[in-house]
Structure 1
Amino acid sequence: MTAPLIAFDGRTVVVTGAAKGIGRAIAMRFLQCGARVVIADSDEGGLDTAKRLAEREGHARVHFIRCDVSKRSEIEALVDGTARHFGAVDVLVNNAGIFPRADLLQTDEAFWDNVLGINLKGAYLLCQAVVPAMMERGGGVIVNIGSNHAAAGEPATMAYAVSKGGIVTLTKNLAKALAKHNIRVNCVQPGWVASEGEVARWKANGMDEEQIAALSARVQTGEDIADAVVFLASGMSKQIIGQVLVVDGGASVGRVQ
């Protein structure tokens, strides 16, 4: 493999929700750029993902730590475990998220708490856990993963849309508060991504392989989102702070996909 345009040699990156889908693509891209990467996920399948990525990239700069991001105790264990294994966190990617379907009347309190707990509270807890060490070391980068649902929403994804709207607000608030400490906070806002979970939903709704292939060719991939994340985490974006980078193939400006 040729040398990457963006290098992260010697830097430690934590990617939440990285056992599969967008998170796995982000983890792989950082590995390809020379970073040490911690895959943080509540899914034990993250261990297999870490092993496969290590074999694929030919190195041991990837490590799995099981973590439910809605629980402070597990967040603290994640940060401590990362420090012991690779060193303090230089880049945090808050990608962990769930997107179950339910409208207002179908959303009970437990459903709401679960979605907001993972998608929004988790990001807040992780930022709170990594920022003190970043401040001590003179800087760091946080990239939050949002969604186009933050701006428009859909009836069946109310709690999810609210959580992603919160991610945008969290991003801008922290960006303003932490810029003086040389900690840059930005958000990548994907459009419609052909992730494993989304493809599984298409199949459950009766789409055949040909239809899935045709739709997948028109929407975004995990790699598209990973490229945007790596850019925002790199020195190439050193003057970009508190921004929402939309990666949706032009859907938000009216392009028909």
Structure 2
Amino acid sequence: MKDTAGFNFAGKTALVTGAAKGIGADIAAQFIRYGANVIIADVDEQGEAVAARWRQDGYAARFFRCDVSQGNDVAQLAAYAEQEFGGLDMLVNNAGIFPRATLSETDEALWDRVIGINLKGVYLMCQAAVPGMISRGGGSIVNIGSLHAATGASDMLAYAISKGGVVTLTRNLASTLAKHRVRVNCIHPGWVASDGEMARIAASGENGDTLEKAIKRMPMGRMQTGNDIASAVVFMMSDFADQITGQQLTVDGGISIR
């Protein structure tokens, strides 16, 4: 652990959505290692086992089952944060789904589900968390975006649009909340070797040689990890980023500059 004031989150509380596994779990772990109280929010009950392991090691970790697309769930989560830790200082909107579907393949149910989790969920979480942050004199929000927010993809229609909306929401809130010392930023992960992505690759039938060649074509020679994204989140939440708001930070090993 770095003994640096900017990365000292002792006494602060972070809530990470979609943190039962994958990138969200890595983000939660970084916060815990730097001394924060952490609430893991997810629809996956596996989150309780993750939080329990941290508690066994003496850390303040909690799990709360929450579907971020449901207003009642989100309201209950915000109340739980107040009850357990006196409110939130940091919010990471990481929960998201990324089903593949073209325009013709995207039915109304799929559209509603993707937008509901990826975009409406961010709006609901911010709406629930911001009043408490303002009353405590400030806070920080990081929304997890995607490279597809700008470029899109033929089989990622709803996902790309949802992430484009997250960028707009980020900039809008950053502008309106700056006077309250609530910072809002967005981080765009690159090609992350998460459990979900590796499972998708395996299910697609791509062989090892194809994957290896794709990785070798990447500017910095590897896929990103959850810890790469977590480190960027921790920086954006830290005192070192005290004057950064409304910005997009891309962590993609150079993919987007090719």
How does the TM-score come out when normalised to structure 2? 0.93
Distance in 2 separating the partners of 1:138 and 1:74: 25
Partner of residue 119, structure 1: 118
Tell me if 1:91 matches 2:90.
yes
Whether the 8 Å contact between 2:15 and 2:90 is mirrored in structure 1 is: yes
Number of residue-to-residue matches in the alignment = 252
Partner of residue 24, structure 1: 25
Partner of residue 110, structure 1: 109
Whether the 8 Å contact between 1:199 and 1:212 is mirrored in structure 2 is: no
Partner of residue 225, structure 2: 221
Partner of residue 171, structure 1: 170
Partner of residue 159, structure 1: 158
Residue 211 of structure 1 deviates from its aligned partner by 6.5
Partner of residue 54, structure 1: 55
Residue 208 of structure 1 deviates from its aligned partner by 5.1
SS at match of 2:152: coil
Unaligned 5+ runs, structure 1: none
Map Cα deviations across residues 23-74 of structure 1 (whole Å, 9 max, x no partner). Answer: 000000000000000000011111112123334xx22311000000000000
Residue 133 of structure 1 deviates from its aligned partner by 1.0
RMSD: 1.7
Partner of residue 205, structure 1: 204
Distance in 2 separating the partners of 1:113 and 1:149: 18
Sequence identity percentage: 56
Residue 210 of structure 1 deviates from its aligned partner by 7.4
Which residue identity lines up with residue 243 of structure 1 in the other structure? Q
Residue 2 of structure 1 deviates from its aligned partner by 5.7
Unaligned 5+ runs, structure 2: none
Detail structure 1 runs of 4+ shifted over 3 Å in the superposition: 1-5, 207-217
Distance in 1 separating the partners of 2:146 and 2:225: 14
Tell me if 1:241 matches 2:249.
no
SS at match of 2:96: coil
